[in-house]
Structure 1
Amino acid sequence: MSKSQRPLSPIERAIDAACGYKPTDDVAPSQVWLECPQCGRKQRVARDETDPPSAYRVRFSCPKCRDEARIVEYFDAQGRKIDCDGNISEEGR
């Protein structure tokens, strides 16, 4: 069973509740999915102040993969690529 499929611990449930996350939600409004483009690892993380408001998923290399380019890509809830201001990019249309 992967970490994302295991039952949440009491502390994880308390953190989710404090962030406004409900088990029926995919991700809390104060969080985004962080995804590594190299290995595919995913994790819910607190939204960074530099993330666009409409960002749902952020692709960025994890510490294990250490991509030298370190390119950050943002996607909205519909999977469309967005720019740093939250506008749908030309690639996302």
Structure 2
Amino acid sequence: MTVTSYNHASTNLVGKFTQSVRRIVQDVKDEGTSSGQTKEEVIETNERLRGVRVRLDENYDTAKKALVTLMARYSESKSQRNVFTRYALLKAMIKV
């Protein structure tokens, strides 16, 4: 995988993570408060929120891996003595 294709993939992962978080936040907002709900409704709400948490954890892990890899590539770029070569590496890392 080239640096450019990796950057596109990591940008895509961050974009997917952002979209997932927005959907999850909206789902939670749509739930409303649990006051006045029956026991069964509270259990159902709790199960839905657990599912939301699982989805959020998976997306968080994906985004974290992308950022850790980006940080590692940045650290590796510091070993380049040639300024122009390093600049090209950094530019490829942040290109959208």
TM norm structure 1: 0.23
Higher percent of residues as helix: 2
TM norm structure 2: 0.22
Higher relative contact order (CA 8 A, sep 6+): 2
- Which of 1 and 2 has greater Rg? 2
